[in-house]
Amino acid sequence: MKAAFVYSDDFARFSYGSDHPLKPVRLRLTYELIRACGLLGDPDPRLIEPAPAGIEDLLTFHTRDYLDVLQAANNGEYREGAEAYGLGYGDNPVFPGMFDWSRLVAGASLKAADLVDSGEASIAFNIAGGLHHALASRASGFCYINDPVLAIRRLVSRGRRVAYIDIDAHHGDGVQEAFYDTDRVLTISLHETGAMLFPGSGFEQETGEGAGSGYSVNVPLPPEADDEIFVQAFTEVVPPLVERFRPDIVVSQLGVDTFVSDPLAHLNVTTNGFCTMVAMIKSLAPKWVALGGGGYDLSNVARAWTLAWAIMNDTDAPEEIPAAYLERYAGAGFLNRRLRDEPVATESGKREMMRKETDRVIGFIRERLVPRRS
């Protein structure tokens, strides 16, 4: 199997609440669009059903007391003291099945890691994954369990060197923190600057400590950075660092809250730049665990991850979204029948200012390249 799609219909049965921006139904929209575009058959051997992660799996990163709090709140009832663990109103609500949801997402990422590490697949894509903000004992940024960390830790425990590439609009702070002091994992995060956006971190000076010094790489980008700026930064930073590090496996977070119409960030990426970066990750990765991530415009999520799945399978996606799909999901915000975006034009003076800031950050990183593998 070249590429595996790790997915469960149960992903979409959970809800953070009607007013919350993260809507798990986006995962069903993506899966159904992939099928409507002829990129998955029925049945299809590439479609893999995950099982929930076990408690022992979660304990490889998260603390026992935190897991106890999550488990106690799984019925959707707030427990006194839960706010100390990041739970409550706002970003990380207590909702029915919260712990079940988190375990299922984590189990899917662990399954993707197992498929790739065993050689059963060279690529595995878990669109529900990429919940990169969760800390060892605290929920953060819509994330309760940090599935990228769990997947990477499993791979590292088996002696693998892992490069983590994160192109979400928000800094992958939870993943960085988990591996900040090791040279077994190279973390690279390209995101909107923390001076303007949650979680307020991910500055270029954050480069690791101890044995991990030089192995945490951050590329903070200015607001309104578009395809040209984002792809420039990716091209100049990611390939040389990954090639020097020579990972056994690449784990990527493919968030699409970078897109121009996303309500929670201020970037101007389109499917054009996104697909360019996905194709570059594919060319760099000897084996590839691909995870989803942010994305709060439902149509962007479905379209972008459908195109990513096509790239993973070396096939062309259609130009238009099938009419039957658009009719079925008429309320999901699809503005037209095109699967791909038109490029977004940025005023030249503004782009020049963004390019200067991006060049400054890239220059800083070039002075602190990851050491060659011994």
Helix (H/G/I), strand (E/B), else coil: 285: coil
Q: How far apart are CA 137 and CA 145, in angstroms?
A: 9
Among this protein's residues, is 133 annotated catalytic? yes
* Cβ atoms of 238 and 165 closer than 8 Å: yes
Report CA Rg, the chain: 19
Q: Which residues lie across from 163 on neighbouring strands?
A: 186, 250
Give me 165's structure tokens: 């590439």
Q: Where are the alpha helices (DSSP H) in the chain?
A: 25-36, 55-58, 64-72, 98-118, 147-157, 173-178, 227-245, 271-284, 298-312, 323-328, 348-366
Q: Which residues lie across from 220 on neighbouring strands?
A: 191
Q: How far apart are CA 16 and CA 25, in angstroms?
A: 11
Catalytic pick from 20, 62, 132, 133?
133
Q: How many CA atoms lie within 13 A of 232 on its CB side?
A: 19
Q: What separation in angstroms does the CA of 43 have from each of 9, 40, 158, 368?
A: 14, 8, 32, 49
Q: How far, in whole angstroms, is CA 81 from its chain's centroid?
A: 30
Residue 75: φ, ψ to 5°? -80, 0
Residue 56: φ, ψ to 5°? -65, -35
Residues forming the active site? 133
